[in-house]
Structure 1
Amino acid sequence: MAGRFDPATTALLLVDMQNDFLHPEGAYARGGAKAVEIAALPAKLKPVADAMRAAGGWIVSTHFTLVPGKGGEPFISPHLKQLRPFLRKGDFAPGGFGQDLIDELAPADIKVEKVAFSAFYMSRLEWVLNRAGIEHLVVGGIVTNGGVASTVRDAHVRDFHVTVLSDGCAAFSPEVHETNIAALKSVAGIETCAEMIGRLTA
């Protein structure tokens, strides 16, 4: 991305940086679904979030949600149930600890629940971004090949300008992460966290 941008119309979009994914007492830690690269993200993204706030930009967080049905039992897509059989009642529940943004990156100016990989799918994300006057999304979070890639591509077709933080995203495999970062170059700018902080503090 060349030149300066207006922080007032820019948001750091934190994709699924939630307790149930990242906290030691969260669902994924309980199920043993962890990766060093994912665990390192809060420390990498916090300086970006701090710089975005200081520059007058927005912090927007997406929150993967398991919607509870009768008796509180969550609706879990078949592919997710097969991939993460440890998920249970109470995980990623609306308004719960597990669904919330991790403390290191809080608070967010806007929080949006999501039920699929893309944060735009059947959500209010596009509506609130438009109402807030946000035109540029700086994206970090998890996982690169899931929520990040799907959300970035959907943002692109909605004419948002997108910058992906190459070291502000992670997957369960470094190879999968790198492959997807390379693939996103056709629809987004790619910068490091340090480069973005430089733009925000220039």
Structure 2
Amino acid sequence: MSWKTAYRSFYYATAEEPDDIRLDPDTTALLVVDIQTTYLEDKETPEETERWRPFFDHMRGTVIPNNQRLIAECRERGVEVIFARIACQKNDGRDRSLSQKKPGFNYLLLPKDRPDGQIVPELAPQGDEIVVMKTTDSALTGTNLRLLLHNMGIKDVIVSGIFTDQCISSTVRSLADESYGVVVVDDCCAAATLELHKRELEIINMIYCHVVQLDEALGFFE
């Protein structure tokens, strides 16, 4: 199935197929969101680690290797590669947004210099590639990414990373509201479960972004 017909929600079930996508490397950025060491570590108990095992396996077997390829291809084409990661400036985390202070899965205390808060080594930024730190779900909210994209003349943003139903979705919606063309790479993203991942892609597809596969995305470059 082509990206033009996949992940159709109720709203777009009968919509016409979108036009072909053409990406100019000079005005396109790749934004890799929150693929940080902490999310690949074992959980507090063996039982909880096993509950997350499908996610860990999917990240190691598919998402990280696919992001390695996507990043390498973008670098080769001269596409701006940008990373976002969750990190707070204060050691006690009082600068975090409320969503990261609430108890539960979203509770995150990742001071900016902690090793487990860094981008996974396989995807480490190179040279002068930009890394924005955020205490919010959206990579645009609470960072200067909006200004950076504008200053560099970016018009289209390719988005990859985790979690599809949280920070990816929030970032995509923010980018769409700022009138960027947004492409989300399905097989370079993940949620905690495949069901959550697919459901969120269906929700955001066509209204906030176009959901595509890695090979399709690489074919969009002029």
Aligned pair 1:113/2:133, yes or no? Answer: yes
Q: Number of residues paired by the alignment? A: 190
Q: Relative to structure 2, which stretch is displaced further, 98-107 or 174-183?
A: 98-107
The alpha-carbon deviation at position 107 of structure 1 amounts to 1.5
Give the counterpart of 2:30 among 2, 8, 12: 12
What secondary structure, in the 3-state scheme, does the structure 1 residue paired with 2:219 have?
helix
Q: Relative to structure 2, which stretch is displaced further, 75-84 or 13-22?
A: 75-84
Per the alignment, residue 102 of structure 1 pairs with 120
> What one-letter code is carried by the residue in structure 2 that aligns with 1:133?
G
Q: 1:119 to 1:3 in 2, by over 3 A?
A: closer
C-alpha contact (below 8 Å) 1:136/1:160 kept by paired residues: yes
Give the counterpart of 1:66 among 75, 78, 88: 88
Per the alignment, residue 57 of structure 1 pairs with 79
What secondary structure, in the 3-state scheme, does the structure 2 residue paired with 1:199 have?
coil
> What one-letter code is carried by the residue in structure 1 that aligns with 2:210?
G
Give the counterpart of 2:169 among 129, 133, 149: 149
- Cα deviation digits, residues 99-119 of structure 1 (max 9, x gap): 222121121511111111111
Per the alignment, residue 103 of structure 2 pairs with 82
Give the counterpart of 1:191 among 193, 204, 212: 212
> What one-letter code is carried by the residue in structure 2 that aligns with 1:82?
P
C-alpha contact (below 8 Å) 1:149/1:184 kept by paired residues: yes
What is the TM-score with the length of structure 1 in the denominator?
0.84
Give the counterpart of 1:160 among 171, 180, 193: 180
The alpha-carbon deviation at position 38 of structure 1 amounts to 3.5
The alpha-carbon deviation at position 80 of structure 1 amounts to 5.2
> What one-letter code is carried by the residue in structure 1 that aligns with 2:58?
E
Equivalent residue runs for 1:25-64 within 5 Å? 29-31=42-44, 32=48, 34=52, 35=55, 36-39=57-60, 40-64=62-86
Give the counterpart of 1:125 among 112, 124, 145: 145
Q: 1:78 to 1:166 in 2, by over 3 A?
A: closer
The alpha-carbon deviation at position 189 of structure 1 amounts to 1.1
Q: 1:78 to 1:153 in 2, by over 3 A?
A: closer
- Cα deviation digits, residues 3-61 of structure 1 (max 9, x gap): 43211111111010112223x4xxxx344564233343111111111000000101111
The alpha-carbon deviation at position 157 of structure 1 amounts to 0.5
C-alpha contact (below 8 Å) 2:165/2:197 kept by paired residues: yes
- CA RMSD between the two structures: 2.3
What secondary structure, in the 3-state scheme, does the structure 2 residue paired with 1:122 have?
coil
Percent identity (aligned)? 25
Gaps of 5+ in 1: none
Gaps of 5+ in 2: 1-18
The alpha-carbon deviation at position 79 of structure 1 amounts to 6.3
The alpha-carbon deviation at position 67 of structure 1 amounts to 3.8
- Cα deviation digits, residues 124-147 of structure 1 (max 9, x gap): 110111112211110010000000
CA distance in 2, matches of 1:7, 1:129: 14
CA distance in 1, matches of 2:83, 2:200: 21
Aligned pair 1:179/2:189, yes or no? Answer: no
The alpha-carbon deviation at position 66 of structure 1 amounts to 3.4
What secondary structure, in the 3-state scheme, does the structure 1 residue paired with 2:186 have?
strand
> What one-letter code is carried by the residue in structure 1 that aligns with 2:121?
D
Q: Relative to structure 2, which stretch is displaced further, 1-10 or 160-169?
A: 1-10
Q: 1:175 to 1:59 in 2, by over 3 A?
A: same
The alpha-carbon deviation at position 194 of structure 1 amounts to 1.6
